[in-house]
Amino acid sequence: MPKDQGIGASTKRREDVRFLTGTGNYTDDINLHGQLYVHFLRSDVAHGKINSVDTSAASAMDGVVRIFTGADFEGIGGLPCGWQVTDRHGEPMKEPAHPVLAQGKVRHVGDPIAAVVAESVQAARDAAEAIEVDIEELPAAVDMKEAVKDGAPLVHDDIGTNLCYDWGFVEENKAATDEAFANAAHVTTLELKNNRLVANPMEPRVAVGDYNRANDESTLYTTSQNPHVIRLLMGAFVLGIPEHKLRVVAPDVGGGFGTKIFHYAEEAFCTFAARQLARPVKWTSTRSEAFMSDAHGRDHVTKIELALDADNNFTALRTETYANMGAYLSTFAPSVPTWLHGTLMAGNYKTPLIYVNVKAVFTNTVPVDAYRGAGRPEATFQIERVIDKAARELNVDPIALRRQNFITEFPYATPVAVEYDTGDYNATMNTLEEIADLSGFAARRAESEKRGMLRGLGVNCYIEACGIAPSNLVGQLGARAGLYESATVRVNATGGITVMTGSHSHGQGHETAFPQVISEMIGIPEEMVEIKHGDTANTPMGMGTYGSRSLAVGGSAMVRAAEKVINKAKKIAAHLLEAAEADIELKDGTFSVAGTDKSVAWGDVTLAAYVPHNYPLEDIEPGLEETAFYDPSNFTYPSGAYCCEVEVDPDTGKVTIESFAAADDFGNIVNPMIVSGQVHGGIAQGIGQALLENCAYDENGQLLSASYMDYAMPRASDVPFYQVDHSNGTPCTHNPLGVKGCGEAGAIGTPPAVINAIVDALRSGGHDHVYHIDMPASPSRVWAAMQK
């Protein structure tokens, strides 16, 4: 019988009650006394010199309190970048200034020029229209390969190039890799694009800045995945407010997908303006604004080559990627195409030699940063697409070619600097073949063909590195932050527990899953445990939620803190039971003396800790509250095998997903229902990328897809019911829970499965020239591919 409490139980998400009944507390629900509203006047050209900004007429309009421009931020720090990449020649990346409001030039459509603070949103918007801006439009750098050529328009004149860095990894392997290609029996080459995406969380970004003159304290309420990181970045680098005078609160957050990791200009502006005006200042993004101010994702152009020997063993892999940075470096942008991408290029395969070259390019577009998967979807798409093409060129079964090259012994040190601790790729592939009913595919294809439809099957694997990350390692790689996590376990006198985690939940279900772990450890009902997060005033310094790290790193910190609590409680219990501490056992919420019937309940021990009348005060302090910081010793390596079946209408090119199966290895599972939900959402986003979503710019740098009319988000009718399995867990060897992380897997593993399936379908229809279709595989692209 399935468990109904603790680790392994599919406990229903307690937070959903408030989300589904309209009683959540999102940032936009926060309204403070005397609050003002800000509207940002944004550039409608991609690149231009600001000749003048005349705010005089606008300033005189009703309700306008003050209009800020770039000049108000002279001498104030710009938005910092949190990761420095060193290029293949040992030089640091180019790191341009990123002012809060544009100074001298605008560099992308949406770049904020002025900020109108007014008594109402309407007054602020009206006044923004009355600001007279004289901008001399300049030619824009849009296409990455054009942007790095001599004579291209420069996004940042002072750095003299649009090339942020030219990264080689592993540079020492380059010569040997090239030699392996020279000696290869077969080389498969594929050029592909990883389309630019916009994350589109359901809740747009919001910021409310507040300032208390009485104690000189600033508070920022913001839609963030990591409030402590924002406090540190904004306080130390932008506004110069020490952390003890700055509180950052990220209350209920309606989805992040990476785009709410970063520190944004609007956050700094609202905090700054609130101090200047001594009144709260609120900004709520519109959906149109989100398209041109939220960091975008992906946008890589890649050439990948795979070398094989005469027995079809992979002998080497080589890539050249252009990665779009956009106009400025967003907080973690440089790390995405490098350390979150290059280190994953081994995939699930024992390719001995790998060389990855990444050229990061500035363009006059919105900054690009991490989006669900961040670098790993790009790596997986390349590897799994080139393997698929190789299988077709060599006329071998794509699954057999993968199995032949699987890594099967662990731990395994890849040639790209990471060590996989555990995994069983054949096991997940076996499960996939079963749940996707691969043996029945031929019959399903025949049935589709009877109806005049082309049916295709696509299979691929993925591996990701998550649970980021060992601080000493990422420090060597250029991170300007540690990546530990923290938790405080506060046991209350009557036995209930409040856990304050530095992790942040914006859809992941921490409030349900974390209590399951505590419940398991102590043997008390989950309902006795409450999770607090998102407020720097009452949680220990934490690094937040991204990179599928909450349970693996934040959960581990909570386990460590809970262990400390249990150890202390055992001391108290030993005192109460007049027994040796070593003989005390904790089970089902009761402390007992081993081998006797003497016991004391959890609640009696916790009460004694706070009412220490009969208490070993000479040995231990009263109270029962412990904090732990956990720094992982390695990444975790979830992996899996995915299968997609499509039908393609040969007359229109329209693709329909007929079925989708995912077999994942997430290590140990705390809440199977939540894990399945995470996989479902990830697959939907992966299908969105593969079939529908595309952020498009024209040659002048105008953003063309900035509403849901033109940016096609996946809808319920675009996705099938999924077959999801996570029974093949090989526990992570280095965190106390043995968990690996599941948040990004679906978005990583799905796109190649969809494209592999479409290529398979077209080839089954006699279109043997088709080896690849760029994402999104829209009907027009699929139809065009069939016409060649």
Partner 1 sequence: MKMSDSREIAASPEVVWAAILNPEVLKECVPGCTEMSGTPEEGFEATVVQKVGPVKATFKGQVNVSDMNPPNSVTLSGEGKGGAAGFAKGGAVVNLAPSATGTTLTYEVEANVGGKLAQLGSRIIDGFAKRMADQFFTRLQEAIEGPADADAAEAADANSDGKKKGWFKRLVS
In whole angstroms, the minimum distance from the beta carbon of 289 to partner 1 comes to: 10
Binding partner 1 by CB under 8 A: which of 190, 248, 690, 706?
706
Tell me if 167 sits within 8 A of 87, measured CB to CB.
yes
Q: Which is nearer to partner 1, 137 or 631 (CB)?
A: 137
By beta-carbon proximity to partner 1, the closer residue of 107 and 506 is 107
141 is a site residue for partner 1 (CB under 8 A): no
Q: CB within 8 A of 736, min separation 6: which ones?
A: 556, 559, 560
Taking the complex as a whole, how short is the minimal distance between the CB of residue 716 and partner 1, in angstroms? 23
Identified binder of partner 1 from the candidate list 32, 35, 44, 426, rule CB under 8 A: 44
Count how many Cα atoms sit within 13 Å of the Cα of residue 663 in the half-sphere of its side chain. 23
Q: Measured from the CB of residue 309, what is the shortest distance to partner 1 in angstroms?
A: 49
CB of 195 to partner 1, least distance (A): 17
The one-letter code for the residue type at 523 is G
The answer to whether the CB of 242 falls within 8 A of the CB of 327 is no
Closest approach, Cβ 297 to partner 1, in A, equals 18
Structure token pair of residue 544 = 């937040």
Single out the residue of 292, 360, 432, 524 in contact with partner 1 (rule: CB under 8 A): 292
Q: Name the one range near partner 1 by CB under 8 A: 562-570, 650-658, 665-673, 706-714.
A: 706-714
User: Cβ of residue 696: shortest distance to partner 1, in angstroms?
Assistant: 8
For the CA atoms of 671, 677, 680, 683, the dihedral, rounded to the nearest 10 degrees, stands at: -80
b/e per residue, 168-198, with b = 16+ CB within 10 A?
Answer: bbbeebbeebeebbeebeebbebebebbbbb
Size of the site for partner 1 (CB under 8 A): 20
Rank residues 551 and 703 by Cβ distance to partner 1 and give the closer one: 703
Cβ count near 149 (within 10 Å): 10
**What pairing do the DSSP bridges indicate for beta strands 353-362 and 314-326?**
parallel
Nearer to partner 1, 42 or 504 (CB): 42
Window of 57-65, 299-307, 560-568, 707-715 that interacts with partner 1 by CB under 8 A: 707-715
Task: Tell me: does residue 288 bind partner 1 (CB under 8 A).
Answer: yes
Phi, psi dihedral angles at 520 (to 5 degrees): -65, -40
161 near partner 1, rule: CB under 8 A: no
- Least distance (Å) between residue 31 CB and partner 1: 25
Residues with Cβ within 8 Å of 478's Cβ and at least 6 positions away in sequence, in order, are 83, 84, 85, 86, 334, 335, 339
Q: What does the CA dihedral 254, 257, 261, 266 come to, rounded to 10 degrees?
A: -60
Question: What's the order of all strands across the beta sheet hosting 48-54?
Answer: 105-106, 48-54, 132-137
Among 7, 9, 36, 45, binds partner 1 (CB under 8 A): 45
Of the candidate spans 3-11, 54-62, 468-476, 693-701, the one that interacts with partner 1 by CB under 8 A turns out to be 693-701
140 binding partner 1? (CB under 8 A): no
Between 371 and 697, CB nearer to partner 1: 697
Cβ-Cβ contacts under 8 Å for 481 (sequence gap 6 or more): 82, 229, 232, 474, 543
The minimum distance between CB 725 and partner 1, in angstroms, equals 41
Q: Does 419 bind partner 1 (CB under 8 A)?
A: no
DSSP result, 254-303: ---TTTTTS--HHHHHHHHHHHHHTS-EEEE--HHHHHHHS-BB--EEEE
The pattern of x and - marking residues 94 through 133 that bind partner 1 according to CB under 8 A reads: ---------------x---------------x--xx----
How many CA atoms lie less than 13 Å away from 91 in the CB half-sphere? 8
Candidates 425-433, 464-472, 570-578, 695-703; binding stretch for partner 1 (CB under 8 A): 695-703
Contact between 10 and partner 1 per CB under 8 A: no
x/- track of binding to partner 1 for residues 637-676 (CB under 8 A): ----------------------------------------
Tokens representing 301? 């152009």
CB 625 within 8 A of CB 489: yes
CA distances from 333 to 83, 108, 546, 765 (A): 8, 16, 14, 41
Shortest Cβ 140–partner 1 spacing (Å)? 11
Alpha-carbon distances of 489 from 480, 562, 600, 605, 658, rounded to whole Å: 28, 6, 21, 16, 47
- Are 409 and 335 in contact by the 8 Å Cβ rule? The answer is no
The token pair at 646 is 């499509």
Decide whether 599 or 705 has the Cβ nearer to partner 1: 705
Q: Does 51 bind partner 1 (CB under 8 A)?
A: no
Stretch that binds partner 1, among 455-463, 466-474, 566-574, 700-708 (CB under 8 A): 700-708
**Which range, of 13-21, 391-399, 539-547, 701-709, touches partner 1 by CB under 8 A?**
701-709
Nearer to partner 1, 175 or 696 (CB): 696
292 or 435: whose CB is closer to partner 1?
292
DSSP 5-49: SSTT-----THHHHHHTT---BGGG---TT-EEEEEEE-SSSSEE
Q: Select 546 or 697, whichever has its Cβ closest to partner 1.
A: 697
Q: Is 703 a residue that touches partner 1 (CB under 8 A)? A: yes
Residue holding tokens 């004149």? Answer: 157
Least distance from C-beta 272 to partner 1, angstroms?
24
Which residue, 130 or 479, is less far from partner 1 as judged by CB?
Answer: 130
Please identify which residue in 1, 202, 709, 716 interacts with partner 1, judged by CB under 8 A.
709
Which residues contact residue 367 at a Cβ distance below 8 angstroms, ignoring those fewer than 6 apart?
108, 295, 296, 325, 326, 327, 328, 329, 330, 333
**C-beta closer to partner 1: residue 141 or 459:** 141
Among 89, 698, 766, 768, binds partner 1 (CB under 8 A): 698
Please provide residue 343's backbone torsions phi and psi, each rounded to the nearest 5 degrees. -70, -10
Residue carrying the six token digits 């109402």: 120
Q: How far is the CB of 559 from partner 1 (least distance, A)?
A: 47
Residues at the site binding partner 1, with contacts judged by CB under 8 A:
44-45, 109, 125, 128-129, 288, 291-292, 696, 698, 700, 702-707, 709-710
